[in-house]
Amino acid sequence: MTTAGAAAQLIPSAVDSPAGRPGVEPPTGKVGPVFVTAFAIAQLTLFIALLGPVMVSMALKVTALVGPSEAPTATGLILGVGAIAALIGNPLFGWMSDRTTSRWGRRRPWLIGGSIGLAVCLFAIAVAPSVPVLVAAWFGAQLAANGAFAAYLATVADQVPPKQSATVTALAGVMQSVGILLAVQLVSVLSQDMIGMFMIPAAIGVVGMTVYALVLPDKRLPARPPSGGWRAIGQMFWLSPRRYPDFAWAWVSRCLLILGSFLFTTFRLFWMIDELALNETDATAAVATGVLIYTVVLVVVGQVAGYVSDRLGRRKVLVFASTALFALGLGLLPMVHTVGGFYMIEVILGAAYGIYMGVDLALVLAVLPNPENAAKDLGVFNIANAAPQSLAPFLGAGLLSIGGGHNYTLLYLTAAVLVFVGALTIIPVKQVR
């Protein structure tokens, strides 16, 4: 579907297919600048709201509650439990979005409702008096955010044709990283204002997702598909690797990359304090600068990679190369003993992840089993994002404890090996060049 008149196609949606049929047709016409701009803003603002806590804010909140000695363990618990909510929420809300017959469309109610729910939970985190409250509030925040994100990601399958998919998804990857950057910068400015540190990003997230929901030419589903009973509910979280091997290989590759990445980012602030001998203020500032460097490199490389991939029609080689380069960056971390060395690693990781984000989602869209279940299937794929985030804090804490504690060498070498295996698992994909 083209979006030349996207601004005029505001809610509610018209019924676009005969009654009794889902009416989900694959997109053919290129999306226009209105759609692309709103799409980018939505990704940017959602990740400002969601990943600020993951990167820095939660660590600062937990430190204020339990002190620096207990903060790493408590933070790992909170983020790990919250990732379980993402594991459940993305396929669940994706399935519900695919079946939504609201007059406002299939995706809009989840875009707006999820972002508001996230904001409410972030306020609960800001005022939480204890770690158990933080666990519950972050669990709710992840559920709400994934309700919005499942619908958001499905709009790519709904609206963007394959010949344009890498360019658009590369922009999404860039905006995700810019969102992280801006979130970290906001935290560095608002670190003395606990409520502002969570609520200003939350408000930005609500505004951005609402703007996208208004611009989105979302089709109304005239009739809800058959439920399929208990079997369908079980399949909500599962796609057969035997029936869909390319999807399965792409899933494993993403899972291992995200696991390795989060083994780094979850403990990055503590690593800088323990290994580089920085105080909390200097470590926070160094992380902010590192994320800035990472993001600048990612933005440039990611957009180029998406454009080149669409022009050449090639995905696999770029995904493999980027994942292997990311593994190299992680493997070099044990040799880093200065802030300058850390910044060089961020350059390598930024280039690698830029290429990856510029191409991988386009590859995934090409191997989706069923366009009518795009949100649910992408939700299943997102388990490859969420499950490692749940596992990384626990696995990382265990690796750090080996050999008397603070074993960052083992942590980052393990991360590098896992990511390189993820590069190898993209090779068997046959459906995509």
pLDDT of residue 53: 72
Least confident of 25-34, 99-108, 157-166, 318-327: 25-34
Q: Is the pLDDT of residue 69 over 80?
A: no
Looking at the chain, how many residues does it have? 433
Question: Region 317-321: what's the mean pLDDT?
Answer: 90
Q: Is the pLDDT of residue 88 over 60?
A: yes
* Pairwise pLDDT comparison (211 vs 67), residue with the higher score: 211
User: pLDDT band at 17, cuts 50/70/90?
Assistant: very low
Least confident of 191-205, 229-243, 261-275, 370-384: 229-243
Q: Cis omega before residue 12 (within 30°)?
A: yes
Task: Read off the pLDDT of residues 214-239 as tens digits, 9 standing for 90 and up.
Answer: 998 887 777 666 665 556 565 666 67
Mean pLDDT of the chain: 82
pTM score of the predicted model:
0.69
pLDDT of residue 205: 92
Whole-number Å distance between alpha carbons of 48 and 200: 9
Q: Is the pLDDT of residue 72 over 60?
A: yes
Whole-number Å distance between alpha carbons of 283 and 287: 6
